[in-house]
Amino acid sequence: AQSVTQLDSHVSVSEGTPVLLRCNYSSSYSPSLFWYVQHPNKGLQLLLKYTSAATLVKGINGFEAEFKKSETSFHLTKPSAHMSDAAEYFCVVSGRKGGYQKVTFGIGTKLQVIP
């Protein structure tokens, strides 16, 4: 079985303060994990990915995430929020077991940045 839980549907931060978007996963496979960002009425853009290399992953726009297998978590962080970070963020787990392939999206977290 494979699932993704984004623990917060909405997060609100002030500009210049840290961002934390939480994601927990479960997988019977050896998964890859991703964070994507979506601005209104746009497609999704890849922020960063974990594919069994370094557990601390750095992405675009100052975002990073840490893969913690013991906690089955892959939280997204940024030290200082910018107004342009306001968007919806999706945590994704992708796995393969034998010939079966599965990708699962979280329901998304909407990030609001307050000036």
- The SS3 assignment for 60 reads helix
Q: Nearest Cα to 110, choosing from 12, 3, 1?
A: 12
Interface residue with other proteins among 20, 46, 56, 60 (CB under 8 A) is 46
| 7 near other proteins, judged by CB under 8 A | no
- Considering the complex, what minimum distance in angstroms separates the CB of residue 115 from other proteins? 26
Residue 101 has φ and ψ, to the nearest 5°, of: -125, 140
**Residue placing its CB nearer to other proteins in the complex, 24 or 94:** 94
Which of 14, 28, 39, 42 touches other proteins (CB under 8 A)? 42
Round to whole Å and give the CA distance between 15 and 56: 24
CB of 55 to other proteins, least distance (A): 16
Per-residue burial over 25-39, b if 16 or more Cβ lie within 10 Å, else e, is bebebebbbbbbbee
Residue 1's identity, in one-letter code, is A
**Cβ nearer to other proteins, comparing 25 with 108:** 108
Binding mask 70-109 for other proteins (x = CB under 8 A): --------------------x---xxx----xxxxxxxx-
Residue 5 in contact with residue 93, Cβ under 8 Å?
no
Dig out the tokens for 37 from the structure: 């960002």
Binding site for other proteins (CB under 8 A): 31-32, 34, 36, 41-46, 49, 51, 90, 94-96, 101-108
